[in-house]
Amino acid sequence: MSVTKLEIHFLHVGHGDCTIIDFPDRLTVVDINNCKKLAGPTRDELRKRYSHGATFSSSSLAAYVVDAQVDKDQSHLVDPIDYLKAKFPGRSIFRYIQTHPDMDHMGGLNRLGDEGYIVTNFWDTDHCISKDMELNKWAQVNHDEKDWDRYQTFHSGGFKDCTILKLREGAVAQFYKDDGISIWAPFENTKSTDPEADPNYFSYVLQIQHGKCSIVLGGDLPAEMWDKLLERRKGALPKAHLLKASHHGRRSGYSIDAVKAMNPDATICSVGELHNKHDASASYERFSTHGCYSTIDHGTIVAKCWSDGDVWLMNSSGQNILKTGPS
């Protein structure tokens, strides 16, 4: 039997998330974020990183060199819609998955529609969360109110040619079953009528099974919900050949017991912030056989997931940064 490949693109979008899965005939986009610049805390942390151990003849030269490197990092941010046009020309989006209703996971949703992209199926979550977009204007990352409005139109079923699916753990239907997608979360519905609920509570967690290769997309599920998920499954989770860390690799989404149960070969962190005290990448590194790979370090990461369990990772320059064998 021949070995087949599934490509997954983890885009470097700074403060946010966007993953593209190239299923045959069913292009899938998980979240979107069109971030034009790195968030302030990310820039500050990068400055510390580039200043550490470096020697310069003057403080002004140090600031110039360090800022130039940070600006270079910022220039590597990817526009998801431009990326779709370049890498998947002429293809519509069969399945768009909004893992949860947070603005850093839907930035660019309005432009996606304005650019004429057809979304056949829109995966959403069952909630009644509202956003104070006026207050958002004073936030560190200013999001576009039009993205929230476009999302609300999807959420309410306002696009007649688009099927809206609000799925939960264990849901099964032909197309996502054929694509090997299993839904692990959301698995509770106790906060669906709470407009002040934490959006991360509703987050999708998805497992994709491609032959022997298991990929887990952790969304932004909080650590305590991972613990509940593990308890529901009696302490057992399938092995993850490739894990996308929950909540951008922060400790708020890190459950040591869940990660150890999945025993990942490799972990991807879509990093938009680099607060060291909140960062769990070192912990993921410890419990991932072949390490943890961040978009802040490697830019957009393309994973080639082979049906024999092999996983290859390439950085934004197309260089191989990991090749594993089947486990």
Residues 6+ apart with CB under 8 A from 156: none
Q: Quick one: pLDDT at residue 327?
A: 46
Our measurement of the distance from residue 91's CA atom to the centroid of its chain's CA atoms, rounded to an integer in Å, reads 21
Secondary-structure breakdown of the chain: helix, strand, coil percentages, each rounded to the nearest 5: 35, 25, 45
Choice among 61-75, 182-196, 310-324 with the minimum mean pLDDT: 61-75
User: E strand or H helix at 286, and its extent?
Assistant: helix 281-287
More confident residue, 44 or 237: 237
Angstrom CA distances, 256 to 215, 235, 286, stand at 18, 12, 10
More confident residue, 25 or 300: 300
Please state the φ and ψ torsions of residue 255, each to the nearest 5 degrees: -110, 110
Cα separation, 33 vs 14, in Å, equals: 8
Q: Quick one: pLDDT at residue 56?
A: 57
Determine contact, residues 33/17, Cβ cutoff 8 Å.
yes
- DSSP tag of 73: H
Choice among 173-177, 214-218, 257-261 with the minimum mean pLDDT: 173-177
Residue 326 binned pLDDT confidence (cut-offs 50, 70, 90): low
Q: Quick one: pLDDT at residue 279?
A: 78
Cα separation, 100 vs 263, in Å, equals: 25
| pTM beyond 0.75, yes or no | yes
Mean of per-residue pLDDT scores for the chain? 89
Q: Does the pLDDT at position 216 exceed 80? A: yes
Determine contact, residues 201/125, Cβ cutoff 8 Å.
no
Cα separation, 203 vs 181, in Å, equals: 15
More confident residue, 213 or 76: 213
Among residues 263, 265, 258, the alpha carbon closest in space to that of 289 is found at 265
More confident residue, 41 or 285: 285
Q: Does the pLDDT at position 53 exceed 70? A: no
Residue 58 binned pLDDT confidence (cut-offs 50, 70, 90): low
Q: Does the pLDDT at position 72 exceed 80? A: no
Q: Does the pLDDT at position 188 exceed 80? A: yes
Q: Quick one: pLDDT at residue 62?
A: 62
Q: Quick one: pLDDT at residue 189?
A: 86
Mean pLDDT along residues 107-116: 96
Buried b (16+ CB within 10 A) or exposed e, 84-107: beeeeeeeebbbbbbbbbbbbbbb
Cα separation, 154 vs 32, in Å, equals: 14
Beta bridge partners of 302: 9, 314
Q: Quick one: pLDDT at residue 244?
A: 98
In order of their start, the domains of the chain are 5-36+77-323 (3.60.15.10)
Q: Does the pLDDT at position 269 exceed 60? A: yes
Q: Quick one: pLDDT at residue 232?
A: 97
